[in-house]
């Protein structure tokens, strides 16, 4: 039950407090406000909070400087970062400092509240997400095989500036989440002791995600439980197979992903995959083949 859970909003913008306080209180949460980092520290030392909504750009002490101090005082508190200074460096720092989620301003109040409610119910360990590479054009992470982790990372990458328009970015994130979920479910079998390796690469021409799961792999030619294997005359035939196997409803991940991005490429074993979105929607190889942009 979420009733009685406490949330601290830390932001120097009174409008943000007003916007979020009302929405959170409507969900039976106890909400308090702090106008800067020092005020937040005083409150955290005197009272236990379940979650903190934390701005980055604040006077005296910014949110990223405050984050490790927050966890020193209350190690188990969940943190949702929100900022107008949405840069890859700030996003990566938020992941490294164990933020649960991350939103760029302006944000949807409904989306932030949903994230808060999800965070308050979720299980989270300090090493659920480990940063291996933190270059803006090459971000590598080791990810614990948990459903909550997939949803968290989808929101982080949703906020990452990629040079795509809003519709394209959402398509890429939807595809990325589907492949990450497949890796966690089928490769990691929901075992939090196992990890998925993922890398985000941004080139001048493309956005690329590489995902490697800890499983034995699979064959694309032998996936009776996936929609990608359905015959034209049986568009949901895989659903019966999944039911017989005791699997959750679904199985549309690979089929959906192929419709949302430009390339989905698996290795021979089937436990590594590349997701590619070209910046103009056209592969450079196809451009050369067609003679585009040559003159």
pLDDT category of residue 256 using cuts at 50, 70 and 90: confident
How do the domains of the chain map onto residue ranges? 1-122, 124-295
Look up the pTM and report it. Answer: 0.82
Q: Are 95 and 131 in contact (CB under 8 A)?
A: yes
In the predicted model, what is the mean pLDDT of residues 33-50? 95
* CA 103 vs CA 82, 84, 86: distances in Å: 5, 9, 8
The fold for domain 124-295 equals: Heat Shock Protein 90 (3.30.565)
Q: Are 202 and 280 in contact (CB under 8 A)?
A: no
Q: Are 240 and 170 in contact (CB under 8 A)?
A: no
Give the residue ranges of DSSP H helices in the chain: 14-25, 37-46, 63-73, 88-96, 109-121, 147-159, 166-182, 237-244, 253-260, 284-290
In the predicted model, what is the mean pLDDT of residues 161-179? 93
- Tell me, yes or no, if the two domains 1-122 and 124-295 fold the same way: no
CATH for 1-122 (3.40.50.720, 3.40.50.2300, 3.30.160.110, 3.40.50.150): 3.40.50.2300
Of 91, 109, 191, give the one whose Cα is nearest residue 143.
Answer: 191
Task: Reply yes or no on whether the pLDDT at 140 is more than 50.
Answer: yes
Residue-wise pLDDT tens digits, 179-232: 999 899 889 999 999 999 999 999 999 999 999 999 998 755 555 545 444 455
């Amino acid at each position: 039950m979420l009733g009685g859970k406490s949330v601290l909003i830390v932001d120097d913008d009174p409008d943000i407090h007003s916007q979020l306080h009302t929405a959170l209180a409507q969900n039976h949460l106890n909400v308090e406000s702090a106008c800067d980092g020092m005020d937040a520290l005083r409150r955290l030392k005197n009272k236990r909070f379940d979650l903190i909504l934390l701005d980055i750009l604040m006077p005296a002490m910014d949110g990223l400087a405050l984050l490790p101090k927050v966890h020193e005082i209350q190690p188990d508190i969940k943190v949702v970062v929100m900022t107008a200074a949405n840069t890859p460096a700030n996003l990566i720092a938020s992941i490294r400092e164990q933020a649960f989620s991350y939103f760029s301003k302006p944000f949807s109040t409904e989306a932030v509240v949903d994230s808060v409610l999800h965070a308050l119910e979720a299980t989270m360990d300090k090493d659920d997400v480990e940063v291996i590479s933190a270059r803006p054009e090459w971000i590598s992470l080791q990810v614990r095989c948990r459903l909550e982790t997939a949803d968290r990372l989808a929101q982080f990458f949703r906020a990452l500036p990629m040079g795509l328009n809003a519709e394209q970015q959402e398509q890429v994130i939807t595809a990325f989440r589907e492949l990450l979920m497949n890796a966690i479910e089928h490769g990691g079998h929901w075992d939090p002791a196992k990890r998925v390796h993922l890398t985000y690469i941004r080139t001048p021409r493309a956005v690329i995600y590489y995902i490697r799961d800890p499983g034995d792999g699979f064959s694309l030619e032998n996936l009776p439980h996936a929609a990608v294997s359905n015959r034209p005359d049986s568009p949901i035939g895989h659903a019966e197979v999944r039911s017989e196997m005791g699997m959750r409803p679904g199985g549309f991940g690979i089929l959906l992903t192929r419709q949302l991005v430009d390339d989905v490429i698996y290795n021979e074993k089937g436990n590594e995959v590349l997701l590619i979105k070209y910046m103009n929607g056209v592969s450079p190889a196809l451009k050369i083949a067609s003679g585009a942009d040559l003159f």
